Structure 1
Amino acid sequence: MAHKMRFTSRDHWTVEETWQRFVPSAELRGVDPKIFRFEWRSAEVPALSIVRYELSAEVFSAVEPEDQILVCRVDTKDGSIEGPRGELALDQPWITDGPRVGAHWKQNARVDAFIFGRDDAEELARDISGNDRLRLRVRGASPLSSSSGAHWERTFDYLLASAEALEPEDEILTAGLRRHALWTTLMAFDTSLRDEPSTSPQSRPAPAAVRRALDFIDDNADLPITVDDIAAAAFMSTRGLQYAFRRALDTTPADRLRRVRLEGARREIRAGCTDPIATIARRWGFAHASRFAAAYREAFGRSPAVEAGRRAGS
């Protein structure tokens, strides 16, 4: 379940108090109250906070997170960002897992941030890599390239909107959102995950592992499982399972999970479920009704609305 918060304030003490709730090391200095305005949006899901705020004021700020990984973009035309090794580009996001980063702007800025618990992020990175001894470390504050930074920003916009639209019953969507945020971040920046080989050694025959994965998907597609959970059930790393699926089935675990969830939604529709199509779609992990309809039509040759109409008329 996502905890969502949205408000506007002109009390400059509210800024630091709210921001420190998410990043305890955050501090603001020299805030000019004459032009002050603060607009806050956030969504919290387990192990991840997604934050966007706009702040009109001259501000000096700094973060030095403990037990967190913070990824941030400060969008301003009259400021600067100072990282542990010098000035950072204003048109790119940055990341820190402890080293101090400071920002200054004179009038207006919009700040976007993902905040991960370090232990949770490391556990998921170990699941992805198959290396139970992986120590997740950030080796540089800047993204690997401008295109990597731009991809992170597009993903942030998408995941913020998705998180704000989450309903309490959207457990499948929540699990996927958290994984998407971390994977995009770890691939956009220079982290120790990138040292892991592109495919992990397989200690068991791939067909048996694939069968275990298929059985797990069929039995649990209605639950908030991710590709990492499927790999764990098959006793493989996520990368190793990706390779095994490609070799044995010419598909991916994610594609198979998506297909089984489509089939689950189809069963409900054909059984005469009276819930709206959008509600059924969300229950099976599809946040956008239009995308669900397109995937359904591609898989089954007709739209879910037509399917429901055929059932009603039978």
Structure 2
Amino acid sequence: MGRVLTASASGADDVEAVWQQFIPAARLEHVDPVRVRFHWSSIETGSLSLVQYSLHADVRSWIRLEDQIMASQLAALDARVVTAGRDLDARQPWLTGDGPMHAHWRGTGRIRAFLFDRTSAEQVARAVSGDDRLVLRSIDPVARDRALAATWERTFGYVASALAAGHEQPLVAAELERHALISTLTAFSTTYLEALDRASQRAAAPRTVRRALAFIDAHAHEPITIEDIAAAAGISTRGLQHAFRRALDTTPSHHLRTVRLAAAHRDLQRGEAHVSEVVQRWGFSSPSRFARFYRDMYGRNPGQTVRMF
């Protein structure tokens, strides 16, 4: 069904070499040079890598992913996983975010993880949520509750067994990838769940609000005002403000800015223009104001997105 990779190494130099081969986005900061041993096993399908490895050492490591999303679990003595100064329970599943994740343990650490191609995962999340502007991002690295964490663990075991069985049907592989991804995106707080919630809100919104949303989507690239949106929806500006608050818990101006930020984000990803041109194109009054809104929404500066793509 997929490409199977296995490797073993001992001794600090050999472990470092194999580690870099399989986990180029991670670094080993410190290992015991004598006792270190590394065993790796993974199965790669089209957009998913299922990884299980053990590393015997007193170890400090860190990982920062840009092109992938990783959901992982670590079993080890005195295990610690830290991100943004926050200690996580390594025994529970955790999800990588925009910043680096640091892991510390003694003895043998056993890790299992799903790694998803970010672009492919985003396409699936957009299709399922119905939000074609969705930028997939982790909001909280910790599973939302223990029941969902247990569900993720069962999903990992099921997908691992099915892939190891060696089925050759591409449709089966695709279904397993999708099952692993949706289980992961549901277990953690992500923008995917926010998009599902927005889709539900939009569908249930009054007709005037739906008309306003459609007008914003169609004319966000133009210098429209709240008065223009209210006129298109057939309601007063005050009534529009109240309707948005009641139906969507936001304001028309905030929604318009969100739509424009999403469009600017797509332009930056495609490399179609410099940041200053994107700022002007989507109607932001200054680069600094745009950068502040952009950081709030995407967790990084506009220039960082340009360099990533």
Query: Which shows bigger deviation, 148-157 or 102-111?
Result: 148-157
Aligned counterparts of 2:176 and 2:124: Cα–Cα separation in 1: 13
- Over 3 Å counting, the alpha-carbon distance change for 1:145 and 1:78 in structure 2 is same
Aligned counterparts of 2:47 and 2:165: Cα–Cα separation in 1: 18
Write out per-residue CA displacement over residues 196-234 of structure 1, whole angstroms, 9 at most, x where no aligned residue: 2375849xxxxxxxxxxxxxxxxxxxxxxxxxxxxxxxx
Query: 1:64 Cα shift?
Result: 0.9
Aligned counterparts of 2:161 and 2:99: Cα–Cα separation in 1: 29
Equivalent residue, structure 2, for 1:247? none
Structural mapping, 1:129-140, within 5 Å: 129-140=129-140
Aligned counterparts of 1:155 and 1:16: Cα–Cα separation in 2: 31
Instruction: Specify the SS of the correspondent of 2:70.
Output: strand
Write out per-residue CA displacement over residues 17-69 of structure 1, whole angstroms, 9 at most, x where no aligned residue: 44444543200122113222222110000111110001111111000111211
Equivalent residue, structure 2, for 1:106? 106
Are the counterparts in 2 of residues 22 and 49 from structure 1 also a CA contact under 8 Å?
no
Instruction: Specify the SS of the correspondent of 1:174.
Output: helix
Write the letter of the residue equivalent to 1:170: Q
- Over 3 Å counting, the alpha-carbon distance change for 1:21 and 1:185 in structure 2 is farther
Q: Percent identity?
A: 37
Instruction: Specify the SS of the correspondent of 1:76.
Output: strand
Query: 1:124 Cα shift?
Result: 0.5
- Over 3 Å counting, the alpha-carbon distance change for 1:106 and 1:152 in structure 2 is same
- Please state if 1:34 is matched with 2:61: no
Are the counterparts in 2 of residues 22 and 115 from structure 1 also a CA contact under 8 Å?
no
Equivalent residue, structure 2, for 1:174? 173
- Please state if 1:60 is matched with 2:85: no
Q: Return the TM-score normalized by structure 2.
A: 0.61
Instruction: Specify the SS of the correspondent of 1:79.
Output: strand
Where does structure 2 lack aligned partners over 5 or more consecutive residues? 205-309
Query: 1:136 Cα shift?
Result: 1.2
- Over 3 Å counting, the alpha-carbon distance change for 1:108 and 1:98 in structure 2 is same
- Over 3 Å counting, the alpha-carbon distance change for 1:66 and 1:14 in structure 2 is farther
Equivalent residue, structure 2, for 1:186? 185
Write the letter of the residue equivalent to 2:79: G
- Over 3 Å counting, the alpha-carbon distance change for 1:113 and 1:15 in structure 2 is farther
Aligned counterparts of 2:97 and 2:22: Cα–Cα separation in 1: 14
Are the counterparts in 1 of residues 11 and 35 from structure 2 also a CA contact under 8 Å?
no
Are the counterparts in 2 of residues 27 and 62 from structure 1 also a CA contact under 8 Å?
yes
Aligned counterparts of 1:178 and 1:62: Cα–Cα separation in 2: 26
Aligned counterparts of 2:19 and 2:35: Cα–Cα separation in 1: 19
Aligned counterparts of 1:172 and 1:165: Cα–Cα separation in 2: 15
- Please state if 1:73 is matched with 2:73: yes
Equivalent residue, structure 2, for 1:115? 115
Structural mapping, 1:1-314, within 5 Å: 1-167=1-167, 169-195=168-194, 196-197=196-197, 199=200, 201=203
Query: 1:114 Cα shift?
Result: 0.9
Write the letter of the residue equivalent to 1:181: A
Equivalent residue, structure 2, for 1:249? none
Instruction: Specify the SS of the correspondent of 2:157.
Output: helix
Query: 1:77 Cα shift?
Result: 2.3
Where does structure 1 lack aligned partners over 5 or more consecutive residues? 203-314
Are the counterparts in 2 of residues 143 and 149 from structure 1 also a CA contact under 8 Å?
yes
Task: Tell me how many residue pairs correspond in the alignment.
Answer: 201
Q: What is the RMSD of the two structures over their aligned residues, measured on CA atoms?
A: 2.0
Write out per-residue CA displacement over residues 169-219 of structure 1, whole angstroms, 9 at most, x where no aligned residue: 3212101110011001000000011112375849xxxxxxxxxxxxxxxxx
